[in-house]
Amino acid sequence: MELINKNEIINNVSSVSRMHINDSKAGMQNIDKEKINAIILKHSKKSKFYKRQQEKEEEIKRKSLEKLNIFSRISGHEIQAAIKYTHNFIELHEKTREMDRTIVHIDMDAFYANVEIRDNPSLADKPMAVGSESMLSTSNYIARRYGVRAAMPGFIAKELCPDLIIVRGNYQKYHAESSKIMDVISKYDVNYSARSLDEAFCDITEHLLARKNFSDSDRTYPKHFTNNLNERQENITFGIDAEECVREIRHRIYLATNLTASAGIACNLRLAKLCSDVNKPNGQFRLENKVDSILEFINPLPIRKVNGIGPTTALILDCYGIKTCQDLYDKKHMIYLLETQNTFEFLMMACRGLGSNRIEHDTERKSLGHETTFPSGISNNKDEMLKICFDLSEEVSHELISEGLKTYKVNLKIKNVDFQVYTRTKSLKSYTNKAEDIYEGIKFLFMNEWKNSNEKLKLRLID
């Protein structure tokens, strides 16, 4: 039987919080996390949002400890059976590992911020961010050294970095620049997939085969960006292998926009995305298509680096003593016994660097949401309901900004006293990630339900 020291686990997770600064973002290495978290706490601890998040965290930790307590009582025979199953699961999927494609993840460097710096060079040597006092969309690499990052309120960022300059976003301009970037990428893979304005996946396997027959002139471009078409230019010629091809893509993006991009090159989408973060900004990293190289790369990675492992999952795993992909693999039998089959399978694929090498446009995230139940179980208080709608709108806005996403449609899902669930949908005036715009749409839907109900609307849940 495998025993769990509960006191050790409790002490271990007591300082872990989903609300602490996430330093996995490029440019945030070696920041003073203790100082930053103290400032975030000072400004957040009295808010209802913070208290609600704190309650959620305590609930996550409580449930995780309950699971660990159950795990400590599982028989040695059951654990051995779980170890055997998980070993066979990994072995089976290792046999299906595909390494015959060359997938590239292109990720622009601090995109919104660098567009503004390009258009106002006086900002180049200063800490700056794009957004407002209420919320930031991104920050440049100078500001990140102070802990300033996307989805952070501007007033907190100002305390972290008093010299911070906050510039209002110009999303029409960012869309225009994004079109230029995607146009370059499409030259190498017509089936590329844009995941946001500033990042995309492409498969250059076929291009590399054709590239072998390219002449030098087909691979030659001006060395420097210029707006003067009559200016005499020095040229640069790129090679024919994958790394040279990706350097060429990044250089052509620079020529089209005067902005820099980073890139990751690997055998599947999951690994390519991880690789694009290695040599940021304005760099690239290629992971060899060898199992040993892949495992050597992924084993020491913090789990928070892995796409799909968000703050809630990271907190649960931390409760289990799992901090890296290697930890995840070593405790795979624990995950199998304590979590759902879907969660187990996703985490095992992630920790071994297994993933799809097919770029499919319908795999993009379609929705994002938050829900709450009422403390008393049922509410028919309109003001209370509208306040909750606003709080949920803020949470959704926060997550949209942190993931670099926008929405043009909102859904209101409500559960009434008879446990009937129904959903209402409204299109917004334009793509947005602002809390006030999201709330405006949700409030419209809610008020329609309120006015059309035969009696005061009595609800158990709002999503």
Strand 128-131 vs strand 165-167: parallel, antiparallel, or unpaired? parallel
Catalytic residue among 116, 177, 199, 248: 199
Nearest by Cα to 225 from 142, 122, 105, 118: 118
> Does the annotation count 199 as an active-site position?
yes
Measured N-to-C along each axis, helices 171-186 and 111-119 cross at an angle, to the nearest 10 degrees, of: 110
Q: In the block, which residue shows the tokens 């590992």?
A: 97
Give me the amino acid identity at 225: F
Q: How many residues does the chain have?
A: 463
Cis amide linkage into residue 281, ω under 30° from 0 = yes
Nearest by Cα to 166 from 174, 180, 156, 175: 156
Burial class (CB in 10 A: 0-12, 13-18, 19+), 140: buried
Q: In a 3-state reduction of DSSP, which class is residue 185?
A: helix
Take residue 41 and report the two structure tokens written for it: 């706490």
Take residue 19 and report the two structure tokens written for it: 């609300």
Take residue 305 and report the two structure tokens written for it: 């680096």
Q: Which residues are catalytic?
A: 199
